[in-house]
Amino acid sequence: MIRRQDLQFPEKDNALREDVHALGGLVGEVLRDQGGERLFSLVEGDRVAAIGRREGGPAIPVELDDAGDFVPGEVACAHLQPAPGTEIDPKSLEVTGIILDHPFRMAKPEKEALDHVFAAVRAAVRRHGCQRAILVGHNAHFDLNFLNAAVARVQHKRNPFHPFSVFDTVTLGGVAYGQTVLARAVQAAGFQWNSDEAHSAVYDAERTAELFCKVANAWSRPASGTRMPGGENGTVITPAGDQAT
């Protein structure tokens, strides 16, 4: 786990950061005292959801609607504690907006976070009668390498993902729309793109899911139909990696 004191911030900001931490705790106490546990839980849920749009390891199962079309399912995500020994690039944190020592972040160790996300993935695999989940991502092997490394690091024994098969929306976007950059492929597919939300783990995963479903639904399928792309394997979206150029 990366400790707050191990991160380097301008010395002039130390007092302000401590004040923010103290204020956050005070706000929580006031909410509980004045509005009760129910109000606190509602506000806390919104707060966690807002932070979740900037970080975490989301997975979005691809579901089938009543018409047999592919549609993005519900997001499952968790805030991660950096693995021991991880080198954190401050410039990356500036891009993503992640604040590792935020008092309300409530990050989980890797094993616990993987348990949470994998449970949702395994449920989708069972729901569609599949054997394995196939990772879908933008530069999907980039994401899969990170996932496999985390699984190996914590020695996780119930990884639902296929160890090497993926669907890459870089390739799909290039074939379908002539665009390999996620933002351009999403817009070419007819969806909106918000640059202010880009690089949020959940936002990128949602746009990747929409792009995949749009291309997959336009593709002609066998007359007998397949339950999910990949035959016996299911499909699950994970956050997009670095965008192709």
Q: What is the pLDDT of residues 221-245, one digit of tens each?
A: 665 555 555 555 666 655 544 433 3
pLDDT value of position 17: 62
Q: Residues 172-217: pLDDT tens digits?
A: 999 999 999 999 999 999 999 988 777 678 888 999 999 999 999 9
Average pLDDT over every residue of 30-47: 73
Task: List beta partners, residue 59.
Answer: 76
Give percent of the chain with pLDDT exceeding 90: 40
Is 116 assigned a catalytic role?
Answer: no
| Residue spans per domain, the chain | 4-237
Give percent of the chain with pLDDT exceeding 70: 74
Contacts 24+ apart (CB under 8 A), 153-157: 153/83, 153/110, 154/109, 154/110, 154/111, 154/114, 156/111, 156/114, 156/115, 156/118
The dihedral of CA 210, 214, 219, 222: what is its sign? positive
The better pLDDT of the pair 61, 15 is held by: 61
Pairing of the two strands 60-64 and 70-72: antiparallel
Q: What dihedral do alpha carbons 116, 117, 122, 124 form, nearest 10°?
A: 120
Gap between the Cα atoms of 201 and 134, Å rounded:
19
The better pLDDT of the pair 89, 72 is held by: 72
Average pLDDT over every residue of 141-158: 92
Taking 70 as the threshold, does the pLDDT of residue 6 lie above it? no
Taking 70 as the threshold, does the pLDDT of residue 42 lie above it? no
The residue assigned the tokens 């935020």 is: 102
Taking 70 as the threshold, does the pLDDT of residue 3 lie above it? no
Query: Which segment, 24-33, 37-46, 51-60, 133-142, is predicted with the most confidence on average?
Result: 133-142
In terms of Cβ atoms closer than 10 Å to its own Cβ (0-12, 13-18, 19+), residue 91 is exposed
Gap between the Cα atoms of 113 and 71, Å rounded:
25
Q: Supply the pTM of this predicted model.
A: 0.69
| Mean of the per-residue pLDDT values of the chain | 79
Backbone φ/ψ region at 44: left (φ over 0), alpha (ψ -120 to 50), beta: alpha
Average pLDDT over every residue of 6-26: 66
Q: How far is CA 62 from the centre of its chain?
A: 14
Q: How far apart are the first and last CA of the chain?
A: 34
Taking 50 as the threshold, does the pLDDT of residue 54 lie above it? no
Alpha carbon distances (Å) from 53 to 75, 86, 103, 134, 239: 10, 22, 17, 23, 11
pLDDT value of position 224: 52
Residue 145 tokens read as 């390498």
DSSP 59-111: BEEEEE-TTS-EEE---B--PBPPPTTPPP-HHHHHHH---TT-TT---B-HH
Angle at 149 (CA atoms; ends 231, 123), nearest 5 degrees: 40
Residue 98 tokens read as 């992640």
Close Cβ partners of 198 (under 8 Å, ≥ 6 residues apart) = 183, 204
Q: Residues 93-117: pLDDT tens digits?
A: 776 777 777 767 778 888 999 999 9
Close Cβ partners of 192 (under 8 Å, ≥ 6 residues apart) = none
Asked: is 4-237 a CATH 3.30.420.10 domain? The reply is: yes
Q: Which of 79, 102, 128, 199 is catalytic?
A: 199
